[in-house]
Amino acid sequence: EARLMFAKFSPDGSRVAYSTYDVGIERLFVVSASGGSVPKLVALLGFPATFDQVRFTPDGARLVFVDFLDDDSTITCDLWSARSDGTGLVQLNPGPRFYPARYQLSPDGQRVLYIDRDEISSYGELVSARVDGAGWQLLTPGAAQPYAFGISDDSEFCVFSEREAGQDRLCLDRLDASQPLELLALAPGSIFTLALVPGSSAVVFFRQGVVYSLTAPGVVVALSGAGATTAHTNSLEPFLFSPDGRQVLYRNDEAASGVMELFGAPVDGSAPARRLCPPLGSDRDVGGFRLAPDNSVLYLADLAANERVALFGVPLDGARAERELNGALGASQDVTSFGQPQRLRRPERAP
């Protein structure tokens, strides 16, 4: 009997992509969310692969997904795209070297960025591929090793970190690899986490325990103290930004105590970083966090040191203390996750 593995809605909610597992084979389907239509088979690859990172393009016209095969002797990942009616299946990586399985889809849904690397070698290449399979370009030709990357809001440029011959640097290029530019040369010390600031050309990145902002080529300001480590900060986003792009949120162990606390800082470094949670004791890390439409910050933590994780809210500007947002929790109860906050509109009265 087939088992449902996952389900993902299209951006407009009209279609659902899902996979089923039956007799060692996983199949990927898409179907109308309203029901009544026959599911369209998008991919049946004929071997015991697992589908992962299944995403609709913003217009809902195509699906992008990874198949992951681990047969105990080798790990293979391939990147695929298909029309959401099940036709037009194309492989987006040039060979079976897509490892580890991570990619970014451009905001306009036309391209994907990924690091093409085999299972054994640490060497890889940053690839920009057309989602429709019409072609791909290398953004890091030669011996450069890419690490972190991000795509601009307008889907024109990407920023990435790389190392070559012991030299680390931040680079910028168009997604078609037509305009490479070195933004910053650094002493050895790889950048594994970065994000482009929405609506600007600034880049926020983490390197050797410190969060930095690159506001112009060669112009860098430190936003945090020299923490022991910055988490790859949120399970959903590497950094979170205020709607106007002026503030960045991140978790950091600035006290080098092994505890991850929540901070906010101006992207331009015009003021010191502000801790947005009370000082935390050992084993009391801030968990997931999000920014609400009213510029309040929501986060999970055990502030009462009673081994119960609760949901808290605090203004981004620190104008008041945090407030617990959930109801009373029992002795063995925790808040484990929460959804993206939405601004609700008052229903209109019927005439």
Q: What is the SS3 assignment for the chain?
A: CCEEEEEEECCCCCEEEEEEEECCEEEEEEEECCCCCCCEEEECCCCCCEEEEEEECCCCCEEEEEEEEECCCCEEEEEEEEECCCCCCEECCCCCCCCCCCEEECCCCCEEEEEEECCCCCCEEEEEEECCCCCEEECCCCCCEEEEEEECCCCCEEEEEEEECCEEEEEEEECCCCCCEEEEEECCCCCCEEEECCCCCCEEEEECCEEEEEEECCEEEECCCCCCCCCCCCCCCCCEECCCCCEEEEEECCCCCCCCEEEEEECCCCCCCEECCCCCCCCCCCCCEEECCCCEEEEEECCCCCCCCEEEEEECCCCCCCEECCCCCCCCCCCCCCCCCCCCCCCCCCC
CB 66 within 8 A of CB 47: no
- Predicted pLDDT of residue 95: 64
- Predicted pLDDT of residue 35: 80
**Dihedral angle sign, alpha carbons of residues 296, 302, 306, 309:** positive
**223-233: buried (b, 16+ CB within 10 Å) or exposed (e) per residue?**
bbbebeebbeb
Tell me the pTM. 0.81
Q: How far apart are CA 182 and CA 163, in angstroms?
A: 12
Q: How far apart are CA 317 and CA 307, in angstroms?
A: 28
- In 3D, which of 15, 13, 11, 132 has the Cα closest to residue 84? 15
pLDDT, averaged across the chain: 82
If pLDDT is split at 50, 70 and 90, which confidence band does 111 have?
A: very high
> Considering the chain, what percentage of its residues have pLDDT values greater than 90?
26
* Residue 53 clears pLDDT 80, i.e. is over it: yes
The answer for residues whose C-beta is within 8 angstroms of residue 203's C-beta and 6 or more apart is 150, 159, 170, 183, 194, 195, 196, 197, 213, 214
* Residue 123 clears pLDDT 80, i.e. is over it: no
Least confident stretch, 114-123, 198-207, 301-310: 114-123
| Average pLDDT of span 115-131 | 77
What tens digit of pLDDT does each residue of 218-265 get?
A: 889 999 876 555 544 444 457 899 988 999 999 888 877 788 889 999
- Predicted pLDDT of residue 212: 92
- Predicted pLDDT of residue 47: 57
If pLDDT is split at 50, 70 and 90, which confidence band does 216 have?
A: confident
* Residue 296 clears pLDDT 70, i.e. is over it: yes
* Residue 309 clears pLDDT 80, i.e. is over it: yes
| Average pLDDT of span 282-306 | 86
- Predicted pLDDT of residue 233: 44
If pLDDT is split at 50, 70 and 90, which confidence band does 93 have?
A: confident
* Type of residue found at 75: I
Q: How far apart are CA 281 and CA 260, in angstroms?
A: 10
- Predicted pLDDT of residue 197: 92
* Type of residue found at 80: W
Burial class (CB in 10 A: 0-12, 13-18, 19+), 72: exposed
CB 125 within 8 A of CB 115: yes
| Bond before 278 cis per omega within 30 degrees | no
* Residue 155 clears pLDDT 90, i.e. is over it: yes
What tens digit of pLDDT does each residue of 65-83 get?
A: 888 776 666 667 788 999 9
- Predicted pLDDT of residue 311: 92
* Type of residue found at 209: G
Furthest-apart CA pair in the chain: how many Å?
71
Residue bearing the bigger pLDDT, 106 or 51: 106
Whole-number Cα distances in Å, 160 to 25, 97, 279, 334: 37, 20, 34, 38
If pLDDT is split at 50, 70 and 90, which confidence band does 156 have?
A: very high
* Residue 176 clears pLDDT 60, i.e. is over it: yes
| Average pLDDT of span 273-291 | 86
What tens digit of pLDDT does each residue of 12-30 get?
A: 998 899 888 877 778 888 8
- Predicted pLDDT of residue 99: 57
